[in-house]
Amino acid sequence: MIIQKPAVAGTLESSDALVSIEPGDGKIELTLTSSVMNQYGRQIRETVLETLDRLSVTDAKVSVVDKGALDCTLKARVECAVFRSCDASEKDIPWGGVIR
């Protein structure tokens, strides 16, 4: 998917994450801030990058502010931000099977 415009998904509430995405400079640039960085930073980074890969996003600036979100929440927030940035309508969203 091609990131066409900036988009945001999520909140800064406890157990959630705020994901911002915008067009990049030819690669994935990930900025990660987390309240549990020491314990789970590597896993959070892997989850975000894996989700972007499954959505075929190869060029984006991504910022994640994590407040202790579970992997399923991170995947959902990244997926939502990507779809919002691509102006995907409900009929064009490939629900069920893209994110594992």
Given this model, what pLDDT does residue 87 score? 77
Share the mean pLDDT of the chain.
Answer: 90
What's the average model confidence in pLDDT over 32-47? 95
Q: Is the pLDDT score of 99 beyond 60?
A: no
The pTM assigned to this predicted structure is 0.87
| Phi-psi domain of 12 (left: phi exceeds 0; alpha: psi -120 through 50; beta: other) | alpha
Domains, the chain:
7-88 (3.30.230.10)
Q: Is the pLDDT score of 9 beyond 80?
A: yes
The rounded distance, in Å, linking the Cα atoms of 40 and 57 is: 23
Give the tens place of pLDDT for each residue, 63-98: 999 999 999 999 999 999 999 998 776 566 666 655
